Amino acid sequence: MRDRDLGFGTIRDLGFGLEDLAAESRIPNPKIPSEDCGTVARHMPALEFRDVSFARPGGNRVLDHFALNVESGEVLALVGRSGAGKTTLLKLANRLLLPDSGAVVVDGCDTREWDPIRLRRRVGYVLQDVGLFPHMTVEQNIGVVPRLEGWPAGRIAARAAELLDLIGLAPEQFASRWPDELSGGQRQRVGVARALAVDPPVLLMDEPFGALDPVTRAELQAEFRRIQNQLHKTVIIVTHDMGEAFALGDRLGVIDDGALVACDRSAAIVESHDPRVRRLLDAVTRLSPPEAESLRSRAAPAAEVREGGAPRPIN
């Protein structure tokens, strides 16, 4: 059966391709090369980009001596123009790409040292277009990675129900539904639940709410803050929306032409005089530091959930 018949193109985008399944069949429990990988000392960042450079085939430089630390439990929002290198950073973080020079370090180990399968189990990935498999129910979609991990059926069902509760979708109503029976916002929620299925400490989110209408985006931003307040994951979220970055990020990183030109709290970013930062700020309604903090506080409370699993709109 061809890849597309099973949806493996999307699995490969998430970091789980046919080669992963073949490796699982050959190696029942692949080991991380170093026993230190996956065990981070408290003083170490959860994710580090150390002087990373990366060029596309043909020599087009995407990242140029890029350096960034992301602390454990932090939400870092990355903003920048299209082609600035934001999605490339996410792919480097879960070893879909390897740097030409420098090092990407996850949980204290260079991604070159990680077994790629084990690394991708520790790094959840939420795509802009969600990528739910149309031939699987909601419960089966959430259970994709647990099944690859060899979880028994009962544990998978219990985890799916737990995560559906977490994202505000009643398991008894949604577990057996098909993706085409969900709204765009509901599909995006299920995509987040799938990324969280095996409780990865790191979560990568690539324009997760970009394709949604403004009201649904506001609802899901509130849901994200609620979930993050419970789980305290290390999150990198890529967005083109400065308002969304202010609402969701503990820090904001601005990328321009493959370099990190600013990385700070929202109040400092708003007051920046760097022309590369100002271009992004001037493209949206100007926010004062109190207004930026107000966006954060507005998104933080749990959204009230009405019958059917959709949260009430934020005023």
Q: What is 3-30+46-299's CATH superfamily?
A: P-loop containing nucleotide triphosphate hydrolases (3.40.50.300)
User: pLDDT at position 31, please?
Assistant: 39
Mean pLDDT by 10 residues, the chain (315 residues): 36 48 39 50 81 88 93 94 88 94 94 93 83 93 94 96 93 95 90 93 89 82 90 93 89 92 92 90 63 52 38 34
User: pLDDT at position 296, please?
Assistant: 52
User: pLDDT at position 281, please?
Assistant: 87
User: pLDDT at position 128, please?
Assistant: 72
Please name which of 222, 226, 228 lies closest in space to residue 209, comparing C-alpha atoms.
222
Q: What's the pLDDT tens digit per position in 285-311?
A: 545 555 555 555 544 443 333 334 443
Provide the whole-model pTM.
Answer: 0.77
User: pLDDT at position 14, please?
Assistant: 55
User: pLDDT at position 82, please?
Assistant: 83
User: pLDDT at position 24, please?
Assistant: 41
